[in-house]
Structure formats: structure tokens, C-alpha cells
Amino acid sequence: MTETILAIDAGTTGVTSIIFDADLAPLARASQEFSQGFPRPGWVEHEAHDILRAVDETVAQVIGQSKAMPRAIGITNQRETVFAVERAGGRALAPGIVWQDRRTSDRCAVLKAEGLQAEVSSRTGLVLDPYFSASKIEWMLANTAGLSERAAAGEVGFCTVDTLVIQHLCGGGVFATDHTNAARTMLYNLDKRAWDPWLCDLFGVSATWLPEVRPSAGDFGEANIGGVKVPILGVAGDQQAALFGQGCWDEGSFKNTYGTGCFLLLNTGKRRVDSAGGLLTTLAVARDGSPCYALEGSVFAGGLIIQWLRDNLGLIDDAAQSEALARSVDDSGGVYLVPAFAGLGAPYWDADARAALLGMTRGTGPGHIARAALEGIAFQSAEIVELLRAETGLAISSLRVDGGAAANDFLMQCQADLAALTISRGGNVEATARGAAALAGLGVGLWSDPSEARAFHDQTQLFEPGLAEQERRQQLEAWRQAVARVRTT
């Protein structure tokens, strides 16, 4: 039988499990969405049992399809989302607070007003924003009955989704995370590679309540898959997994993932680069599986804009129809969609901004709105590319892309035009799961270098920029003026 790797991608809106062969070609795939909780405006929650049920069912499906037990498992996950769990067994004690959640905006604003941003950034590479896990944990402790007391008694831990899944698969015996997920909590010191006592004290968290941090290509215990023990040997947050899965192992390599949000990561190797313009410094994974640094531009609304067109407005029946609807008009007719549904991420970090559809006239129709929606995704990412050019001095002439929305040809051409670079799209846009599988493959010894897997040498489709520079800059300026209409800071 072909040696295989199981990758579990526990994302924001669903779980995807994929069986890969030793060349990282997908053999079997199963996906299942789970419900999103919106109990109050600006709040977003997930139930742990919904995520774990989707894990169990998709894993069972792909094992059944492939008729082979994998050599190892790689896990990748939505980052920053945090759960309070019982240390014995891993049962979640409350709904998880999702990365998109804005309930701690006021607390982050207070910390900024106290002048703590510089110190927090120097330790974490992050900005004071409700996006990250620390203020969510602080909120849970203050607002969940009995939680603080149980945590003090050593009965409760706080973890991101990777740890939740690991505990579940291993029967509660392992409470561990990796560097890339730890780096997104705002409790982890990037340079010391350890939970930071000053940060833990700031948010009222004991480091003993947090998972053990292990290498991304490390040992995370044995999962029980249908009565068979399979080692978990690769773990990374979804964006760092996608960076690895795109073959961006060396300094200067660059990717954008078009998932629920859009996340542009630039591998800066062993060199930590700090941004003055709203980018994040974070940890990624080097070629050998060890931690390295990266710069990240985090855009909160990407593919979720297309979901909004489908689920909230009813303009399309499925995501694929967005392209044809956008192409049904010659341009957006002056319409701009600023998708600040959960505030604005990089480079603005405005938690209180809200989405707006601007420039409509009596003649505005569904095609104009769909086109403005896709252009809104591209505009946001183009701003990050411009900032990366300014802060690194790099020309940045090409970009590797992945994620569900990357399959949209109109969006990819629009991105090439607005960012003035060549878009390189592989045949398999699920680089996130491939990255998790590649890490597990390193861990189990399928290769000594991930480039040995043939999937990293597949042909790519290129989208070349075709917009005159003056026109491009005019369009970017018009976009910035639209963004200014929704900003609160």
C-alpha cells in the first residue's frame, strides 16, 4: 500500500480532512461545515463539540475512501480562537471565542491608552487588538461562573483549536501546542520562545494554565483512529501551514491565503523584522521544521465576503457563481464594499469599524455589488503588498496563492492588476492542509527535505498584471477614501 499522511484542517467555518500520498498528492478528501454563533453584535463563538464532531466524521470518511491507515497525522487550525477546557479529558467549559470576535475591544483600547502597545509589540510582535487570544481568556475568567476558581485549582486550561483537536484525538493525554499557534496568543515571547511572565500577569493568566509548546514538526502524541494508534507529528496554525505548504521555506518567499480572511506572510528567516505600519511579526516554520520569523498582513474579510453574498444577500447560490455575476458588468459602477464586518485588520487595526457598501445609485444591481465584493478582497491585499514593499525594500514581483477563493479567476486577475505582481496559483489550492501533511511527513521521516515531495514541483497558472501604473494608483487611492468613510480611528 502507498504510504500516506492524514492532514486535518480545522478552519473557521468547517473541517477538511485529506489523505496525501508520499508525494503530497491528495488521495481522498472530506469536508464538513459547522455552525457559527453570533450571540450579540460583534461576538462570534464556536462550540467545541461541533468542531470535534466534524473532525471525527471527516477523518472516518477519508480513511474509508483511501482504505489505508496513515503513517502520521498533521493538524492545522484557525488561529487565535480560544477555549477553556478541563485539563482531565479536554471537555470544553464554555463556547470558544473566535478570532473574529470583538467583545474585548474596550479592554484593548484601555491598554493602548495606558501606553502598553510598544512593550506588548516588543515581546509578541502583535498589536493590542481583540483579534488575539489573551484578552479573550481574560474575558472568560471574568465572565464564566466558577472558571477562575477552577483554573486556580489547576483543573482548567486554555487552548487554541490545535490543542483542542490533539486532546480529543489522544483521549485527553496531551496538552500541547506549537510555536506558530503560541505566537498568536499575545502571551508568548517571540524571541525567548516561551510563555511571557509579564504578559501573563497583564492579562491575569498563569503560564501553568497554558499548553506545552513543541516544535511544529514534533511529537504531539498518538491519536486513536478506529482503534489504531497513529502519531501526530506536525502542527501549525493555518497561515503558517499554508506558507510551508506553498514551499515558502526560505527568507524572502511570500504567499497569500484567500480563506475566510486573507493572510499575506513573508518569510524573513532568522531575522526578526518589526513593522511601523501595522504589519505583524510572527513565527513561521523553516525548511527543517524549526521556528523562523515572518511578517504578516492580516485581512479579516476574504472569502467570508463571498459567503455573505450567498447567505445574507442571496445574490448567489454557491461561491463559484460570484465570478460570473461579477463579470456580468463592465465595472463596479463606482460601488465599493469595505468589508469591515469584524472591524479592520492590517494596516488599520480599527476594531470598531463596520462594513459599508458605498457609491450606489438607482442603477446599481447585483453584478455591481458582486464585482465590488471581489474587488474589495483584492484591494485589501494590495494595500498589504504596498506596505511590505515600503517596509522591506523588496520589489515583490510575484505572489503564491492558495485558499478556496483563489480558485476565482476574476479575483486572481484583479489581484495581479491592483498589486502589480504576478500571481502564481498551483493546481491544488489547499496548501494549508498540504503544509500540515508536509510537517508530519518530515516528522515521520518520509523525506529529509520537503522539496523531495513532487507536489512542490507541480505546474502553476500565472496571472500577469495588466493595469497601467497611474490607473492602479488612482484606484488604490479611491479605495483608501472609501475605507476612510468607515474608520473610527
Residue pLDDT, tens place only, 423-435: 988 776 578 899 9
Cell of 443: 516528522
pLDDT band at residue 1 using 50, 70 and 90 as cut-offs:
very low
Residue pLDDT, tens place only, 458-477: 767 899 999 999 999 999 99
**Beta carbons within 10 angstroms of residue 407's beta carbon:** 16
Domain 4-236 fold is: Nucleotidyltransferase; domain 5 (3.30.420)
Q: Whole-angstrom Cα distance, residue 224 to residue 232?
A: 10
258 contact partners, CB below 8 Å, separation of at least 6: 302, 303, 377, 401, 402, 403, 404, 405, 406, 411
Chain centre to alpha carbon of residue 100: 11
> What pLDDT was estimated at residue 415?
95
Nearest alpha-carbon partner for 257 in 239, 284, 241: 239
Q: Per residue in 364-385, is it b (16+ CB within 10 Å) or e — as a string?
A: bebbbbbbbbbbbbbbbbbbbb
Residue pLDDT, tens place only, 98-114: 988 999 999 999 999 99
**Phi, psi of 241, deg, nearest 5:** -65, -40
> What pLDDT was estimated at residue 159?
95
213, 188 contact by CB (below 8 A): yes
Q: With a cut of 60, say whether residue 335 has pLDDT above it.
A: yes
268, 292 contact by CB (below 8 A): yes
Cell of 2: 502507498
> What pLDDT was estimated at residue 291?
92
pLDDT band at residue 360 using 50, 70 and 90 as cut-offs:
very high
Lowest mean pLDDT segment, chosen from 183-197, 269-283, 420-434: 420-434
Q: Per residue in 230-255, is it b (16+ CB within 10 Å) or e — as a string?
A: bbbbbbbbbbbbbbbbbbbbeeebbb
Tracing cell 522591506 back to the chain, one arrives at 392
**Beta carbons within 10 angstroms of residue 324's beta carbon:** 12
Nearest alpha-carbon partner for 218 in 233, 231, 230: 233
Looking at residues 214-218, what average pLDDT do you find?
A: 92
Q: With a cut of 90, say whether residue 142 has pLDDT above it.
A: yes
Q: Which residue has the higher pLDDT, 421 or 89?
A: 421
> What pLDDT was estimated at residue 428?
65
Average pLDDT, the chain: 91
> What pLDDT was estimated at residue 254?
86
465 contact partners, CB below 8 Å, separation of at least 6: 416, 417, 419, 420, 421, 422
Looking at residues 7-30, what average pLDDT do you find?
A: 92
38, 98 contact by CB (below 8 A): no
> What pLDDT was estimated at residue 429?
59
Residue pLDDT, tens place only, 399-409: 888 888 888 99
By DSSP bridging, strand 176-178 and strand 356-358 are unpaired
Q: Whole-angstrom Cα distance, residue 285 to residue 426?
A: 20
> What pLDDT was estimated at residue 327?
92
Cα 346 to Cα 79, 131, 143, 351: the distances in Å are 16, 11, 29, 11
Please state the length of the chain: 489
27, 20 contact by CB (below 8 A): yes
- E-strand spans in 125-219? 156-160, 176-178, 188-189, 194-195, 212-214
Residue pLDDT, tens place only, 63-88: 988 888 899 999 999 999 999 999 88
